[in-house]
Each structure stands twice: as C-alpha cells, then as structure tokens.
Amino acid sequence: MRQDQQVHSFISAKREKEKHSACCVRNDKSGCVQTSEEECSSTLAVWVKWPHHPSTPMLAGNKRQFGSVCHQDPRVCEQPASMEPHEWPDDITKWPICTKNSAGNYTNHLHMDCVITGRPCCIGTKGRCEITSREYCEFMRGYFHEEATLCSQVHCMDDVCGLLPFLNPEVPDQFYRLWLSLFLHAGILHCLVSICFQMTILRDLEKLAGWHRISIIYLLSGITGNLASAIFLPYRAEVGPAGSQFGILACLFVELFQSWQILARPWRAFFKLLAVVLFLFAFGLLPWIDNFAHISGFISGFFLSFAFLPYISFGKFDLYRKRCQIIVFQLIFIALFSGLVILFYFYPIKCEWCEFLTCIPFTDKFCEKYDLDAQLH
C-alpha cells in the first residue's frame, strides 16, 4: 500500500550487488548463470567480468565497466536496439529486457554462447528476488520470469501483490486493501466465526439501529483497525474483519451508556461486557492474532457509535448535549483516522516493544518475529 523504506532499502542493496555481478560460464559447457565473483568457481568456470574480459564492448569510446550479463549484450540485441541516442547505459541494472537477438554465431562471446540455467525468481511477499532455476522457483512457490535475465528487470512487489497493477511498478499503491481484506478469511473456521458473530450480535444491532448505521460503524472501524495494524505490523499479511467485530462490540457499550438511566442493574451489564472484551483482548496476546486491529477497531467503533447510534434524550438539555456529543465524536474519529493515515504514509514508525501488545513471548519461539529480516530469512 506504500513504499516501505526498509523493503526499498533491501531491494536497492540487492540491485547494487547485482550491478557488480557478471555471467559465470562453466568450463564443461553445462550452462551459465549470473553471479557475484565469490559464487563463481575460479577452477570450474569463467567469470566473464567487464572490462577485464576480452569480450568487453565499448560505450562512448570507453570500455564498459559493468557486466557481462548472461544471454544479453547491447551489441547483439535488436529489440530494443542499443543505438544512439538510446544506447544502453553502463549500469546493467538499468538495462531493458531484450526481446530479440540478432542471428549469428556468438562463439567469441562466452556469456552469449551458453545455456542459461538461472533467471529471476520472485520469492515471498517482501520483494525478494533470486537468480535461480525454474525447478527451485516452483518449489519455493515463486514467480519465475522466463523473459528476464536480471532481478533489476522485474518488479517483485508488483508480482506478488496481484489484483490491480501499480501505477508505478516501483511504488506500491494498493490502498484498497484496507477495506477489501475485511471480506476475506484465512480458512473455513475463520469464516464460521465471522458468520456466527454476524448472525447473533451484528444481526441484533442491525434490528436495533438499522443496517445503514451499523454498516458505517462496521466498515470504518474495520478500516481503522487495518490501518493501525499496517503501521505497527507492516510485514505481516492479514485478512478478516477483526477490527470491524471489535467496533461492533464497542456499540454494545455505547448502547448501554445511552440506556443507563432506564436499566434496572446497568453495572451488572457493564461488567459482563467488560469481562467478554478483556477476555478477547487477552486472547489476542496469542500468536497470529492481531490485537492492534482489535484495539483500534474497538476505539474507533466506540467513537463512531456515539456519533451514529440512535439515542434517547431526557429533557431539552440532554437533547442538546447529545447533539453536541455527535459532532464531538465525529471530529474525534476524523482526527484519529487522519493521524493514522499521516503515520502510515508520511511518518512511518518502528516500535520495538509494540509487538508485546499482540503477542507475549512466553518462550523464545512462542511469537513469530515480525521484523523484515525475520521475514526474509
């Protein structure tokens, strides 16, 4: 949904490493692959590195400093051709994908006269790319790019995110995931829990307040919960209406407060609701349950309920007070949502201790690590 600085730095570091790579051609003619010098055996293969190799091409009267690239050379590519004023740059990470090479014998160009055994493969959901074989890529359930020769020629984030393509392949922009994920579930059990919730608590509230009011609270509290989760747990994929469901639970509290004066034992009802919510928040401290969505959805649902639920007034003063209350809580929710949007898009934060709000590590391996390094390795 945004260009994450850590992911962007990781991809930039991989491209800088690829910039200094070259084609490693095995001496037994069994194949070639794009690697660094350390990964290419000096005994069993030849690392065709420009400008030290005799096959080095020229650029503006000087030898190219970066390359070679397996099965790609500006001298033999016809589409797109490397010709003035559109010559391919010296930096190989800025080369286009060659769709057609000229016919001919490439005996003098080792990096062209070989069977390429590795191409870019996008693995995982964090923009990781490796030059590897199709078999390994399929084993890792990655996206194999038969048409490309370098990782810099593919956009892994655009591949793995799916749905609508990015406007700029380098900048993720799928903000619609904030509400689309509310209607997706991680399995049958997850879906059954949502159905049970909707057929009991949600149905009763719709009968009480109307579907239009409840739908506004349900959607906005879910979006707010997902937004908070994206801020504090940016490297974990999630689905489900957890934030929306806790926003609906907040409706029960607000409905209780609105009807406090006409209930025989309001404190008893309050402590019953409080016990249920505290139990669910405590349950959220287990792995793979997102308390950030729960807490944010509950808080936003609380504000929205005061703004949208119908109310009973006791006298003219109470009527004016509750009308002012509607305006105040609408402004509070707008401020909360705007603050989360600003944090997510403009001032991303990294909170080391915040993960303890969603999972308490009773043992060393009890909680999954949510940082980028743990996700990549």
Least confident of 73-77, 116-120, 167-171: 167-171
pLDDT score, position 310 = 82
**Does the pLDDT value for residue 376 go beyond 80?**
no
Q: Which residue ranges make up each domain of the chain?
A: 5-117, 177-376
More confident residue, 311 or 197: 197
Q: 192-205 pLDDT, tens per residue?
A: 999 999 999 999 99
pLDDT score, position 373 = 54
The mean pLDDT value of the chain amounts to: 89
Least confident of 20-24, 124-128, 333-337: 124-128
CATH fold for domain 177-376: Rhomboid-like fold (1.20.1540)
Residue 363 CA to its chain's centroid (Å): 27
pLDDT score, position 91 = 95
With the CA atoms of 253, 257, 260 and 261 taken in that order, what torsion angle do they form, in degrees rounded to the nearest 10? -160
Q: 170-224 pLDDT, tens per residue?
A: 888 888 999 999 999 888 998 999 999 999 999 999 998 899 999 999 999 999 9
The radius of gyration of the chain's CA atoms, rounded to the nearest angstrom, is: 29
The model's pTM is 0.82
Distance CA 41, CA 310 (A): 75
- Name the most confidently modeled range: 196-205, 317-326, 367-376: 196-205
Distance CA 268, CA 308 (A): 25
Q: 286-310 pLDDT, tens per residue?
A: 888 889 999 999 999 999 999 998 8
pLDDT confidence of 328, banded at 50, 70, 90? very high
pLDDT confidence of 372, banded at 50, 70, 90? low
31-51 average pLDDT score: 94
pLDDT score, position 359 = 83
Nearest one of 363, 310, 373 to 128, comparing CA atoms:
373
More confident residue, 162 or 49: 49
**Does the pLDDT value for residue 374 go beyond 70?**
no
27-55 average pLDDT score: 93
**Does the pLDDT value for residue 255 go beyond 60?**
yes
pLDDT score, position 368 = 66
